[in-house]
């Protein structure tokens, strides 16, 4: 073999503590090395040209570059050697920056270590074999999970690009949390007015299939070829017949059913349409509240429905879809704030969440847009807003900032003044986070123009005074005093976490998630809408608490990734995958059990059970290799022999 070695200076990043010329000189003595040099910046254009020239001049069939971490430039150099006519896997990198020059100052020791790392790379390269990707077809269809504003945006962008889209939404209507808002900051736009047209576009787009009241229950396959099973919940109303006229709602006798859309702020009927602009505008029955479904008595809606759409016998159905990519846009939910006993633990009727308050503010809400105290229906005059309930709180395991509560509280304070001109609002805050465009100016307006009292300090406790009002015990840390406010209504800016069931959805999609239920992106800075699972992307609050503009941007970002992925006529797989030597395989199946991606199956080969790897699904993690008792399964480009060659090289130094 003829190997060329290139030692990079990386300016002074490496050269400051490593004698690169010496390393290059040492490498000349290594087996199969016919060319060795050091360069200023190997990844630069002249640096890459130098590699290509050397390959041609010395007929090299393998290259080692000693420079930064492969995570930085391995793809770059692989493409370089490919341009010179070599197979891209006849290339190895030695990390002499993050692993050597950046962690120690001893020049001699560093130079020694760099030399050893280069030797290891050379020895591995000597055992490398060319690898070739396989091309495979992809389905030009995308699954979007979650019909909030992020999912809606992703669906519309993909559909506009000509892809077929399946949008699966858990509730009976799309719109997510944004549909629950009255107005949005910082413009105080009406939320349904700006979201409504997008929701209608989704319903009418020829490329979008909307599945509401549905949940994804299983995903198998691999990028470009996912098979998804979707549970379509029984709504007990045939949506192909329902016109959304609402007669059933008027006549339903079960008038005290819990109203999830209105955050349980008022009763609704067992059969209902959540809000006037719901998409799909179809009725659905809550089986736990319906008298016919629980007790067998009633049936009024079936009698009254002009199209005969009611069907009490409806069952859940499973639909199956083949898609090429998946966008997770499952959104967020509020943290369980009732664990704060000092705020009443949910026992005080006039201590409510920001989302509940939003429903009171909304004209389509349970009070017709009038702010009324839940306890006695009277109009409150003194409203206290408490920020950071469940955010920035290590004691409940939620140390992070939820990012948008400062903004919506300012908005709610502004709206409160509009609704009740003679009211006085107080906001207890720790810091005001208003980073977006026109955000800080908006919070200042709440204070300067709308007379909201902002008090810097947290609230220790809310104590009912026994006469219908609440003593809010807070502090003004700027003045250095404890302060009390006698409130008629208290609104808690509750922190957010991943939506309920996020963990289970993540496991279904084979993606990672954190303690708070947020899905993990590939790289927190540079790859915010991708996951480490090929073909699965993220958009919106499911990836981390964020406001509407960021969610919409991520929706479009995820769509761009999907469109890019599926625009290629065929996809290429990464050939660094496992393969089974069926001569050694005894069919024990341990690898099948241990594979996190279900990439290994048991096949019957000439009458014997053998393991077989689905190359397109295999992510090259190597768990199967470590598990196999026979050594029958090997990971290409990281075979036992290749790795042991590196170990031997090191042991002999």
Q: Which residues bind another protein (CB under 8 A)?
A: 340-342, 345, 347, 388, 392-396, 430, 456-461, 463-467, 473-477, 480-483
Beta carbon nearer to another protein, 40 or 401: 401
Least separation in angstroms between CB 207 and another protein: 48
CB 541 to another protein: min, Å? 23
Pairing of strands 325-328, 141-145: parallel
Sequential DSSP letters for 449-513: TT--EEEES-EEEEEE-SSS-EEEEEEETTTTEEEEEEESEEEEEE-EEEPTTHHHHHHHHT--B
**Between residues 435 and 482, which has the closer beta carbon with respect to another protein?**
482
Minimum CB distance to another protein smaller for 360 or for 388 = 388
Least gap, CB of 488 to another protein (angstroms): 16
The distance of closest approach from Cβ of residue 546 to another protein in the complex, given in angstroms and rounded to an integer, is 23
Q: Residue 298 or residue 494: which is nearer to another protein going by CB?
A: 494
- For the CB of residue 504, give the shortest distance to another protein in the complex, in Å: 29
DSSP assignment string, 597-650: T--EEEEEETTEEEEEE-TTT-----HHHHH-TT--EEETTS-HHHHHHHHHHH
Instruction: Put the strands of the sheet holding 317-323 in their side by side order.
Output: 214-222, 225-232, 317-323
Task: Provide the CA 362 distance to its chain's centre, in angstroms.
Answer: 29
Minimum CB distance to another protein, residue 392 (Å): 7
Nearer to another protein, 257 or 409 (CB): 409
CB of 321 to another protein, least distance (A): 45
Is residue 110 within 8 Å of residue 104, measured between CB atoms? yes
Q: Smallest distance, Å, CB 482 to another protein?
A: 4
CA distance 155 to 638: 39
Nearer to another protein, 104 or 341 (CB): 341
Contact (CB, 8 A) for 355 and 263:
yes
> For residues 189 and 393, which CB has a smaller minimum distance to another protein in the complex?
393
Separation between Cα atoms, residue 599 and residue 582, nearest integer Å: 16
Please tell me what DSSP assigns to residue 338.
G
Q: How far apart are CA 313 and CA 439, in angstroms?
A: 51
Q: How far is the CB of 461 from another protein (least distance, A)?
A: 6
Closer residue to another protein in complex, CB, 419/458? 458
The three-state (H, E, C) secondary structure of 179-219, written as one string: HHCCEECCCCEEHHHHHHHHHHHHHHCCCEEEECCEEEEEE
**CA nearest to 30, candidates 118, 124, 127, 103:** 118
Side-chain half-sphere CA neighbours of 155 within 13 A: 33
**In terms of CB distance, is 137 or 342 closer to another protein?**
342
What does the alpha-carbon distance between residue 562 and residue 158 come to, in Å, rounded to a whole number? 7
Residue 463 Cβ vs another protein, minimum distance, rounded to whole Å:
5
Please, what's the b/e burial string for 49-59 (b: 16 or more CB within 10 A of its CB; e: otherwise)? ebbbebbeeee
Tell me which residue has tokens 């719901």. 278
653 contact partners, CB below 8 Å, separation of at least 6? 116, 119
Q: How many CB atoms lie within 10 A of CB 599?
A: 22
Backbone φ, ψ for residue 631 (5° rounding): 65, 25
CA 567/CA 569 separation, integer angstroms? 6
Min separation Cβ 467 and another protein, Å: 6
User: Between residues 81 and 388, which has the closer beta carbon with respect to another protein?
Assistant: 388
267/289 Cα distance (integer angstroms): 11
User: Judged by CB, which is closer to another protein: 133, or 463?
Assistant: 463
Provide, rounded to whole angstroms, the least separation between the CB of residue 350 and another protein. Answer: 13
Q: In the complex with another protein, which residue's Cβ is closer, 334 or 415?
A: 334
């Amino acid at each position: 073999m003829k190997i060329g070695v290139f030692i990079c200076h990386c300016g002074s990043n490496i050269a400051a503590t490593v004698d690169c010329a010496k390393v290059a000189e040492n490498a000349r003595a290594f087996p199969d090395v016919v060319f060795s040099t050091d360069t200023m910046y190997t990844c630069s254009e002249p640096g890459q040209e130098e590699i290509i020239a050397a390959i041609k001049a010395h007929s090299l069939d393998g290259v080692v570059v000693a420079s930064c971490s492969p995570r930085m430039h391995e793809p770059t150099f692989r493409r370089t050697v490919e341009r010179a006519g070599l197979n891209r896997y006849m290339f190895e990198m030695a990390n002499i920056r993050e692993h050597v020059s950046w962690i120690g100052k001893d020049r001699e020791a560093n130079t020694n270590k760099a030399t050893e790392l280069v030797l290891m790379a050379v020895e591995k390269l000597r055992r490398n074999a060319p690898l070739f990707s396989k091309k495979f077809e992809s389905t030009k269809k995308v699954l979007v999970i979650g019909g909030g504003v992020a999912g809606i945006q992703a669906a519309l962008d993909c559909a506009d690009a000509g892809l077929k889209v399946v949008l699966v939404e858990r509730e009976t209507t799309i719109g997510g949390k944004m549909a629950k808002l009255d107005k949005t900051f910082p413009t105080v736009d009406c939320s349904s007015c700006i979201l409504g047209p997008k929701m209608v576009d989704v319903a009418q787009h020829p490329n979008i299939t909307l599945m509401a009241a549905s949940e994804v229950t299983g995903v198998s396959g691999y990028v470009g070829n996912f098979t998804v099973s979707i549970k379509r919940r029984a709504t007990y109303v045939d949506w192909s017949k329902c016109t959304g006229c609402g007669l059933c709602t008027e006549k339903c006798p079960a008038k005290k059913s819990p109203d999830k859309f209105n955050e349980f702020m008022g009763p609704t009927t067992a059969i209902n349409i959540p809000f006037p602009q719901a998409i799909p505008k179809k009725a659905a029955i809550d089986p736990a509240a319906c008298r016919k479904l629980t007790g067998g008595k009633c049936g009024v809606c079936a009698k009254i429905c002009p199209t005969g759409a009611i069907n009490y016998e409806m069952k859940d159905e499973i639909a199956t879809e083949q898609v090429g990519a998946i966008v997770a846009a499952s959104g967020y939910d509020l943290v369980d704030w009732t664990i704060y006993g000092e705020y009443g633990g949910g026992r005080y009727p006039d201590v409510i969440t920001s989302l509940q308050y939003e429903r009171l503010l909304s004209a389509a809400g349970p009070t017709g847009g009038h702010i009324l105290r839940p306890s006695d229906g009277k109009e409150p005059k003194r409203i206290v807003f408490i920020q950071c309930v469940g955010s920035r709180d290590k004691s409940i395991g939620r140390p992070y900032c939820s990012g948008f509560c400062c903004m919506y509280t300012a908005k709610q304070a502004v709206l409160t003044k509009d609704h009740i001109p003679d009211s006085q609002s107080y906001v207890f805050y720790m810091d005001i986070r208003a980073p977006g465009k026109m955000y800080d100016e908006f919070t200042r307006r709440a204070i300067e123009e709308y007379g909201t009292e902002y008090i810097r300090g947290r609230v220790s406790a809310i104590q009912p005074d026994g006469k219908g009002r609440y003593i809010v015990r807070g502090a003004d840390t700027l003045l250095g005093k404890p302060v009390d406010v006698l409130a008629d209504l208290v609104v808690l800016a509750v922190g957010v976490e991943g939506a309920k069931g996020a963990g289970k959805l993540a496991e279904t999609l084979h993606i990672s998630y954190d303690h708070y239920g947020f899905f993990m992106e590939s790289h927190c800075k540079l790859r915010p809408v991708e996951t480490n699972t090929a073909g699965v992307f993220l958009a919106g609050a499911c990836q981390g608490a964020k406001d509407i503009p960021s969610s919409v941007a991520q929706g479009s970002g995820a769509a761009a990734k999907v469109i890019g992925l599926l625009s290629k006529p065929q996809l290429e797989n990464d050939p660094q995958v496992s393969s089974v030597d069926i001569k050694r395989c005894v069919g024990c199946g341990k690898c099948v059990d241990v594979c996190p991606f279900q990439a290994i199956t048991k096949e019957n080969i000439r009458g014997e059970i053998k393991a077989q790897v689905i190359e397109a699904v295999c992510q090259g993690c190597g768990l199967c290799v470590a598990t196999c008792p026979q050594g029958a399964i090997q990971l290409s480009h990281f075979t036992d022999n290749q790795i042991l060659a590196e170990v031997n090289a090191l042991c002999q130094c």
